[in-house]
Structure 1
Amino acid sequence: MNWPPQRLSAPDPQFYSQQQRQIHDTISAGPRGGVRGPLAVWLHRPELAARAQDLGRYCRYDTSLAPHLSELAILITGRVFSSEYEWQAHKGPALAAGIAPDIIDAIRTDNRPVFDDPELEVVHDVARAAHENRRLDDALYARAADVLGEQRLVDLVGLLGYYTLISLTINIFSIPPQGGGAPELDNA
């Protein structure tokens, strides 16, 4: 697949400002192990990169949500935004976190998965409603608060917001998936 040209590449490291270098080194030393994709583009605005990476670190690694719930929400966000980079970056971690391949494939093809876990189901339903309706109706909110509890629901909403920022950055600046490869999402 020939991906469209990336509209904005990462700044050239040999011309980093002191602030860009510091943020780059902080991100590289953290759990991500490097600065890629949207994080690299954000280095054009080091203040944004620093704040977004702090929020991202919390949402990805320190949230009250179990990894399989976080990864499900991230995949749904990538699917809703047809963000190939995000989808391909999180499909493997979703599988490793225990999300069944048939659930992942249903999301990929924009179909509702069959769930036997009420937590996965409510995360799916909240994520879809948040992205499609920009709100939750009273019944879904009550179910989400009951199944997840208020603290995990707050973390879920934060995670959805952060990965919306990621997906918009990917799509607006045409950031291709790492290693290229064939698209997996329709409308990508």
Structure 2
Amino acid sequence: MKIESRLSPLQQDHMDAEQRRVLEEILSGPRGNLDGPFLAWVHSPGLADHAQRLGAFCRYGTRLPLRLTELAILVTAAWWQSQAEWQIHAPIAREAGVSETLIEALRDGRAPDVEHDDEALVVRLGQAIYRHKRVDDGLYAEAVAALGEAAVVELVGVFGYYALVAMTLNVFEVRRGSEPLPFAEPPRDEV
């Protein structure tokens, strides 16, 4: 899929050795492409190196089932109205078992009608983090009881990492070709 952005195009003959090394590591890893923020991050090999490793853990290495990880990513993408993040992860979330009703409610900014308690917990935790920048004692205790302390630490890491992804995608206007945008773009004079 063609990826577009406001970044200068990467050209092999203008890349330094570190950029080529990080690019090769990203392309030979589990992702296999420069989709999402990697198109931007490869411009800064130090950031790309660390961010892509953290991302690989957040996406593939946590104690959370894929369904909950992808749901946390969608909560983040909806909060930040991150076009490419949503475009990439909504299909993965569907395939992982997140209901279409929940996905559409998040995209539309409506209160979601959540079928599963663990999904409701992820949505509430993510929305509390983004709205209040804190989680109250009751929700924290509920999350630890349901998921375990280590998984809650990892879930917060997923929210944080994908907020970085969303900011990167929004600032550099990363888009997936001609796919329709899931969120309305703000007028340029309001940005």
TM-score under structure 2 length normalisation: 0.91
For 1:131, the equivalent position in structure 2 comes to 130
Partner of residue 185, structure 1: 183
Q: Which residue type is aligned with residue 150 of structure 1?
A: E
Distance 2:121 2:98 in 1: 14
Q: Which residue of 2 aligns with 1:26?
A: 25
Gaps of 5+ in 2: 187-191
Paired residue for 1:154?
Answer: 153
Secondary structure of 2:103's aligned partner: helix
After superposition, the C-alpha distances for 1:4-33 in whole angstroms (9 at most, x for unaligned) are x83324532221111111110111011101
Partner residue in 2 for 1:145? 144
> Which amino acid in 2 is paired with 1:185?
F
Which residue does the alignment assign to 2:92? 93
The residue type paired with residue 42 of structure 2 is: L
The alignment covers a number of residue pairs equal to 183
What is the deviation of 1:187?
Answer: 4.7
Q: CA RMSD in A?
A: 1.4
Conserved? CA contact 1:109–1:186, under 8 Å: no
Partners of 1:179 and 1:25 lie apart in 2 by 23
**Alignment partner of 1:47 is 2:31:** no
The 1:6/1:179 distance shift into structure 2, 3 A limit, reads closer
Cα distance in structure 2, aligned partners of 1:57 and 1:40:
16
Letter in 1 for 2:52: Q
Q: Is the 8 A contact 2:36 2:85 kept in 1?
A: no
- Tell me the distance in 2 between the aligned counterparts of 1:106 and 1:88: 15
